[in-house]
Structure 1
């Protein structure tokens, strides 16, 4: 059998066969003509053990280009480059001459027209019918017509022309390298370019002449094995194509969940076997996911497209996320939303006109910047958004976007509602004001309100043994989606069903020979698990797919540079507080007052007094004379006889009160701390 098949079809290395294979003609059935002898007879990749023996039959169902094998012509050294390698390559000129034009043409690819133009040069003079070409002339082959080829010629000082060269013309001809630059993907996509030799462009290895060949990952099944095989095309295996001669061999037909969902309703119900379980790092965190392992038997009851809602828990210790089907039977009450800026309030008002909020944190009025004051408990109703003129810290007013709100007054006060303008860049803290306390079904929430929405589950679904949504203080309805799902159950409990999202889980199954686990025409009553816990990865992917590209929140307008500088200067020159001013000694005893130092012009050294950290071992000495206006509010304090004389000054340079004692360490500078100041004030009072 093997010999007859080999005789009918040519035997090729696996790498060469796959490289010449068109993916549109898959699947193809191959027979192994020699086993694998690469690091032993067993080849293991990503946990898949691959072992081929002579005579094995393989059904290739898919190929994927992984990398490119580069072979140095001079040293036979091989290395691989990823298919997305960013380096560029140029065609290398050939070093082996051709003796005739016919030999050069015949050694080119069969489909010559698809890889034209081809450029070559002659080391000898060429005498044609009406012209003689000098040595070194470069010709571009355009087409082959019977026993001659049409070429384009352009030489040094020669006019461009087209000539016909006989295929029998003898000489010494060399193929020329082009100036075009190619990426690995471009080379691998062209059968003609694959036959060329290349060298790197602008790299240290530019002198290496390379032969490039693609390396594919092959997806296949075998007639004696159920699992899906994945292995590289670089395995040292010789194969023969027996697709046309192998009609009776039965292969496992792996189906993805998307393939199952595309089947007709007549396919269901059916018992299937898991060939490959979901990949690690899945999007789901539900009870049935860990049991979808290789060899598990499932019952697929049917397919449908389910309307589902994505929810996340708020105000809880551990964030959890859920995918909830519209069949959920519990009820919800709305919960107020919180907003931490005016811009968030603006975005929410665009989705829900007439939004009412209450201020949850005081906001002081900044008159020079046009920011209004807000008090805790004030209620606002969002009216709209418009351009307003605000000072924004400068002398001229600037036009900014502001949210127009109405201050809602109490009915008892009788005052009319007043408008307040909140710039979109303004910080604030608000909470939504809700007036209804109704209970809603999940489908009613999506129909009556704009999402996202805060809710609380107030009654459980009676169909669920344990309702995971009940007990959370607040749930956020992130959005809704339509999910193609497959209604499934395990073979040992066919009545307990769950929905598998066909586009969210990657796994493969095959139809099993097991019969349905119920009497004919007596299917069980299915109880569907309508709440599926998902991971944060699912939520991030969902929000990324559903996210609208909103503009970022606006920044505050640029303030006037002169006004900002003036404001900072005033702040730095502020006088001591009234409480500190009341503690001066001048009001206590004029006789004990100390006159201020004589005025003199301050020097640069005086203005830039060094600030040295205080040390206990070596206290710093005072400067000989202090600069004018460096110390203010000078006075004395005498507390009875025998008590030290204390001088109190306020240092504007360091913004600190400073004490001088007439006893102890004379002349020692003692910096005031909060505790020291408090003791001094208590003593003075």
Structure 2
């Protein structure tokens, strides 16, 4: 039976692909040629095509009120990258079986693919009863004891119950309310059921739309979304993939059951190639559709080019993000074969709990407080801006709480004073703010950082990878290594000139190939070229989502007692620059200009000698601890040291002799005698 292309695609189950269609009638007459997405495609009556895939290309949105569309409602076209965050309105029409849900709703491995439903009636299983109204989460569809079923979970009395529901299970199943917010692209990929409308409500706008906004000004109503699909198809006498929009006025007929589907070329995605057995590699393939974009080396993968695919494997990558205060940030996946070197940059640690996570056995963590904290208990230390600490270890301490003794997790530290150290206790619930002081001048390879330090970790490229023609990391002022991930890759090279090979990601590169029956001339792959992959914001979050599925989150820090006194918070300005962030051992800072403005003439030479804000010293402290520093010289520390970052790119810090540092200190000390503020005065003046 013939149907419009739109109706056929809207009702098509992706698991039933590929399908062979015969063009029955429409606007495409015999011999006519139309230009679509750069592909010339002749869809004449009687033409046969093989549909190999389809995806939502855009959305037609009807503006509605009270979740209903009137005959006068305006319709607007929204691209998938249209900005904004949206809430999904639950569908009030029930599904009549589990099989209908699996046929119309996307169920997949990520949290987007875990839809939730409830039944108005109890469902009795073999050893478990689902009570009416309980939220059932659908996780995956698989075969269980020869029967297709859905793996489900529900939470009852804080206990997770797992069970399966066969696809044959009938009843009324309603969609649960979804409190999450999504981008339009996420809704298009996961939250639009087949043959059903989807109502969404604009939650908040991400940023202004560059072109004219199709929505009314200050719009806060609902939208009813209708997807328009882009159909990927193969034609009998063409090697490339054609793209057809589903809303074209074309009638088609499904003739898959009576047609030799093998007579078409078999396009394979990179996922399809990766599923091949290891014994089938290496293989020669021709690119039917190359990836979009011009990032090297992917711009070499053009349509029609022949490549050799040597093997498939899992490879480690370090996920890194650019350190910057504004958005958007750039994100990178760095291979372990990266030959550049990194030097450390200070970490910002917002809480005492983060101090515990960041400390390591390799070296003692040295931090400076950039936010004040007033302790409600005499057992704990009250922190002032500029206080320096050496982090020791986590332990428990007994406090008097509401007239009763109570054990509380605390962080034991040593406060650095002008001429001594003082043992103090910081509560783990303390929401302070700290900046790490770096004493390490060593340059590290990527593998050394992953082996010796705990991520996240802040670095800067100190020596670029000379094997890369254009090292994108070298131009980044700072990087945060967030986590080490494992991803799937194919090793390929050009079939015509295999002088080098490179790794291509399986799940982030949209490319179609078809295998050629050619013998591989070069079985051993040539030298592999290092490639730093820059990924988009969307890919960054997807990488983290997939990776974090197998990781357990760290334990949450103890909550602050509700009766505790409020903290005393200080705000520090950007001018109060943290001049000890990179100090290797002893240092002098430029904040003395603020403290001793009345003696500016007396210390002018000192200011000149400190023009780089920071002077490093190579000699090490014989005690093995951080240096003892005059508190009045560091009271202006702040966690907002972004102003330094641009300055840091313009010059390198010079290392000078310890005697020079001491002479500078002595000159400043002598010039300050008589009217130098005390420690307490300095803190009160902050």
**Structure label with greater radius of gyration:** 1
